Structure 1
Amino acid sequence: MDKFNCTSRLSRISEKVVLCQSDTTVGFSSQNAKKLQEIKNRKPSKSFIKIFKDLKKLNKLGPRIPEKFKNSLRRANKSSFIVKNIAFRIANNSINSQIFRDISWHYSTSANETGKNFNREFCEEKADIIIENKDGLRELSSSSLFKINQIKRKK
């Protein structure tokens, strides 16, 4: 685990695995999907949710969103979406401190071994950086998941 007071000292943040409390539950975040797969012992065929900074970044880098769902997506709270088999969320007021301020997207997954509950010791061992506020890290409910196509939205 690296302990820094200044984010400018962090080299290649895109390669790091960050343990942090999100708006839903505690999770691992990184731009390196392979590192997350190794930590979670997850099959490579199972993808991760991609977290975008805002709707502009999603429109630029993510899947094309059907026009009739853009407004509900913009207003969504604690929700993840699947469009054309790509899972994503928009987390514009993220608790992830300034570490992700210059990164327009990152992968995210719950902070646990696949099929197990949150274990702080396991997570601290696997994370490169830990972001924790005064409330600490706690396992809460995950986000709602919606599948969107051109016609309908299904929970």
Structure 2
Amino acid sequence: MSVILAQTDTTVGFLSQDAQKLYEIKSRPSSKPFIKVYKDFKSFKDDGKRVPKKRKKLVRRSTKTTFILGDFSFRVAKPPLHSELLRAIPWFYSTSANRSGERFERAFCEAKADIIIEDINGLRESVSSRLIKINAKKWRRLR
């Protein structure tokens, strides 16, 4: 699977269904998992994932938010994706487009990506998603 450089719903990101390629690009330890971004809730459900009943409303109504459920982190991208390529695939592993722990560097990102998707607004680094850890009893905002 290819590595795609695109503007996500939060910031510039690398997207791929191959986590190993993303680990190599970012020089990131494999013990630190990537966020799985779904195009809609149907894709999330089709992947066999479930949210505790008490947290469904929180997850459904949140925008630009990543949830951690046990050892699995996910986000459902609400805004419509502008590329047919991104709409056709139900989920991607996602990470910010930079070297691990550094800021966005366009030349580095373009060299590492197989496909670059850029609209009229260009690629811009912005605030990353909120991070909320949830379970059946409570939730806690981490970022």
Deviations 1:111-149 (A, max 9, x none): 000011000000000000001111111110000000001
- Pairs aligned (count): 141
Q: Give the share of equivalent positions with the same residue, in percent.
A: 52
Paired residues for 1:54-133 under 5 Å: 54-133=40-119
Q: Which has the larger radius of gyration?
A: 1
Q: CA deviation at 1:95?
A: 3.3
Following the alignment from structure 2 to structure 1, what is the Cα–Cα distance between the partners of residues 109 and 48?
A: 29
Following the alignment from structure 1 to structure 2, what is the Cα–Cα distance between the partners of residues 33 and 91?
A: 19
Q: CA deviation at 1:96?
A: 4.9
Q: What one-letter code is carried by the residue in structure 1 that aligns with 2:125?
A: E
Following the alignment from structure 2 to structure 1, what is the Cα–Cα distance between the partners of residues 70 and 49?
A: 7
Is the contact made by 2:81 and 2:87 (CA closer than 8 Å) also made in structure 1?
no
Q: CA deviation at 1:55?
A: 1.2
TM-score, normalized by length of structure 2?
0.94
TM-score, normalized by length of structure 1?
0.87
Partner of 1:42: 28
Name stretches of at least 5 consecutive residues in structure 2 with no aligned partner: none
Following the alignment from structure 1 to structure 2, what is the Cα–Cα distance between the partners of residues 94 and 122?
A: 27
Name stretches of at least 5 consecutive residues in structure 1 with no aligned partner: 1-14
Paired residues for 1:124-143 under 5 Å: 124-143=110-129
CA RMSD of aligned residues (A): 1.1
Q: CA deviation at 1:103?
A: 1.2
1:149 aligns with 2:107: no
Is the contact made by 2:134 and 2:140 (CA closer than 8 Å) also made in structure 1?
yes
